[in-house]
Structure formats: C-alpha cells, structure tokens
Amino acid sequence: MNVYAIRAIYRQEMYRMWRTVLGSIFTPVITTSLYFVVFGAAIGSRMQPIDGVHYANFIVPGLIMMQLLTQGIFNASFGIHMPKFNGTIYEVLSAPVSPIEILVGYVGAAATKAVILGLIIMGVAWAFVPFHILHPFVMLAFLVVTALTFSLFGFAIGIWADGFDKLQVIPTMIVMPLTFLGGTFYSINMLPGFWRTVALFNPIVYLVNGFRWSFYGIADVTPLISLAFTGGFMLICLAVIYWMFRTGYKLKV
C-alpha cells in the first residue's frame, strides 16, 4: 500500500475544501438552517408530536442525512471529475499508484468532508432545537458508513459523467427527490397503506430511519435492515468502481 500516494491525494482534496470553505461549509449550513427555521420553528410549532418526539426534533436526523448524502456525492464526484476534465487524471493513472490507493485517497477525503459537515450541522441544529442522542456510537457508525457509501457512489458518478451537466443529473433528478420522499420531514406510517408500501421501495427511507433511531429510539423500519441496506449498496458501488478501473471505462482514451 502506497501510503504517500494516498496521503498526497487526500491532502490535496482536503485542501480544496478549505480553499472553497464558503461553498463547501457555509452554504450547506445556511441552507439547512433555513430548513430548521421554516419547518422547525414556523411549521413545527403547529404540528403534533410524531411518536412522542416534537416535530422540530423529529426532522433533525433527516436534514443531517440529506446534507450528508448530497455532500458525499458532490465532493467525490467533483474530486475525480476535475482531473478528468483538465487531463491530469492520466498522470495519476500512469504513476505507480494502484486503483485502490486512488479510491482510498479521493473517497476518504470526500467522506471526511461529509462527516465534518454533518457534525457541524448537528451542532447548528442543537442551537435551534436542543436534543439528546440516545445511541451516540450507533449515530457515529451510521454517519461514517453513509458518508463512505455515498462518496463511493459519487466517485462512480464522477467517472461516468462526460461533463459538468451530467455531474448534476443523478444527484438533482434522482437522489434529492428520493430524499424528500424518504421520510425526512414525516413518518411513512402517516401515509395511506398503498403509499406506505411504495415508500418502502425508496432506499433513503432506510437510511433516514436508521439514523433517526440512533437519536430517539424510534423508526418506521428496523435499524438492522437500514444498516444491511447501506452495506449492500456500498458493496455494489465498490463492484461498479472495480469494473470501471479494470476496463478503463471513461478513464483511458
């Protein structure tokens, strides 16, 4: 394992975050804060508690998870797409660096950024609606595993995308709608029977509910199922990325 190569890629990507701290940190935090103001304070004060949890507290895990997914995908996809765009990816591929080392460097940095942002948003959320985390170690496990999984997903998107427009297609047209429909702002048990069954096919439901269970001990689906789904999706992403490197898909001309 070439530790020096991994560290070089990792440090470069982390430096990019601090260089663009306004877009990487402040923008997601401000956006999430607006959700807390609108849904937590304005609408939440008129809502009944859900499963014994005040509405403003109920949406906290979902909003953190929403930013975690979005930022994990964005950081990893942009991180690998930029070397493709400016042609420096060929220097990386021709260097004595294995695909696993490239993957660890880029995905490790993207996941680290997502976790840092998730913790910052958690602190901001506590300033709006103080809460107590029932299972802190489970919460951290879900935070890290989800950040890694969707950073891998974003890495695959970054390799697949031919341009910056395609880079936004899957996060904007698929992931974001699934997040809003995945129980971020409500319990799927509030839905009619048919739509609740449809909601169970939404993968984001399992992530949000597993994360919410670590906070309050309540969930619409079993937390073990949520963790199993996340692990399964991670394996699928790893298999796709392995195939991309093995075949040189959109990496080698």
Residue range 177-207, pLDDT digits in tens? 898 888 888 999 888 888 899 888 898 999 9
Average pLDDT over residues 207-222: 92
pLDDT of 138 over the 70 cut: yes
For residue 50, the cross-strand partners are 53
pLDDT of 151 over the 70 cut: yes
pLDDT score for 253: 59
Average pLDDT over residues 3-9: 89
- The pLDDT-based confidence of 162 (bands split at 50, 70, 90) is confident
Residue range 36-65, pLDDT digits in tens? 888 777 777 778 888 889 998 999 999 999
pLDDT score for 86: 84
- In 3D, which of 58, 64, 74 has the Cα closest to residue 29? 64
pTM for the whole structure: 0.91
Report which residue type is found at 121: I
Q: Are 104 and 6 in contact (CB under 8 A)?
A: yes
- In 3D, which of 30, 11, 106, 28 has the Cα closest to residue 65? 28
Q: Specify the higher pLDDT residue, 165 or 140.
A: 140
User: How many angstroms separate the CA atoms of 155 and 160, rounded?
Assistant: 9
Domain boundaries, given as residue ranges, for the chain = 3-247
Q: DSSP 3-state assignment of 233?
A: helix
- What count of other Cβ atoms lies within 10 Å of the Cβ of residue 123? 10
As a whole number, the mean pLDDT across the chain is 88
Number of residues written out for the chain:
253
- In 3D, which of 92, 88, 114, 87 has the Cα closest to residue 2? 92
